[in-house]
Amino acid sequence: MASPHSPLSRDDRRTELREFLRSRRARVSPTDVGMPDGGRRRTPGLRREEVAVLAGVGVSWYTWLEQGRDIKVSEQVLDAIARALLLGSAERAHLYRLAGLNPPQTPSAPSAAPSPEVRRLLDAWSPRPGYVRDRHWNFTAVNDAARVVFGYRESDHNCLVAFFTGARYRVLHQNWAETAPDVAAAFRADAARYPDDPEFGRIATDLAEVSPEFAELWARHDVAEHTSAVKAVDHPGAGTMIFDATLLPLPEHPGHHLILHNPRPGTDTQQRMETLLRRHSLVVPHPG
């Protein structure tokens, strides 16, 4: 597997790897992994030879790894060490990167409803638009402001499908034609993260049959990743509004994102948005 690009130099990664393994070893006691305590220890945690036994590797090899020596490592051995040290998924991925390997693909998981905490955050974000989408870009929660400002309806279940097939949304979106290639490329990038998940292909195939624009863009095989974007809408009831959109991953549900929109500074979007929402009987807090 190819080594990933990393801002750390090779020597820096070895130093980080040494310190990371030592710190993880120190926090695991023998009883945590079903081994006898063995009496008083000079330092807390497992000994190197105990980690080696648990991982099924040679003591010398593990010692060299922890010392940051230039040795060859494999995914199978790193997984065994991760199990021996009781590493969580984020720690396991970090171990892979420090060892110079790309972390394994995140396994696919079903769509999950937002947690109560995320729902409260989404509600509190109003009167600004916000929503949550899963790895397949299905909406799992949409606040009322997003429905009014962006024209999402109860029948809109998928963000990608709504973008390419929603007539109302296409009219509202000021730069639809310029944005469409980036939207298709971003969906392909997400699909690449889950190569064994057939749902991405099904969504793309079905959408290509009803949207010639998407079919053309999908055939380009362009890939792009974005964590932020500028979204401009020409709303018939409020005029032009411009928002900064930020995508925030939800670690408890891999692939899910909370997408929040802020009125762009230097525009009158805030005032237009608040006036629009009052017309729809949505509560808008008074300044101060």
Q: What is the CATH number of the domain that holds 177?
A: 3.30.450.180
Are 199 and 266 contained in the same domain? yes
Instruction: Please say which residue of 98, 126, 151 terminates a domain.
Output: 98
Dihedral (Cα; 43, 47, 102, 187), 10-degree rounding: -70
> pLDDT value at position 2?
38
pLDDT digits (tens, 9 = 90+) for 1-34: 334 444 456 777 888 888 999 999 999 988 888 8
Q: How many residues does the chain have?
A: 288
Domain of residue 207 covers 116-279
pLDDT digits (tens, 9 = 90+) for 135-164: 999 999 999 999 999 988 888 899 999 999
Report helix, strand or coil for 179: helix
Average pLDDT in the 113-131 region? Answer: 92
Are 268 and 172 contained in the same domain? yes
Report the b/e string of 31-54 with b at 16+ CB within 10 A. Answer: eebeeeeeeeeeeebbbbebbbbb
Q: Is residue 111 included in any domain, yes or no? A: no
Residue 273 has pLDDT above 60, yes or no: yes
CA–CA separation, 82 and 57 (whole Å): 13
CA–CA separation, 165 and 241 (whole Å): 22
CA–CA separation, 106 and 83 (whole Å): 17
Are 216 and 73 contained in the same domain? no
Q: Is residue 104 included in any domain, yes or no? A: no
Q: Is residue 107 included in any domain, yes or no? A: no
Q: Is residue 139 included in any domain, yes or no? A: yes
> pLDDT value at position 117?
93
pLDDT digits (tens, 9 = 90+) for 199-242: 999 999 999 999 999 999 999 989 888 888 999 999 998 999 99
Lowest-pLDDT choice from 134-148, 159-173, 264-278: 159-173
Q: Is residue 229 included in any domain, yes or no? A: yes
pLDDT greater at residue 34 or residue 248: 248
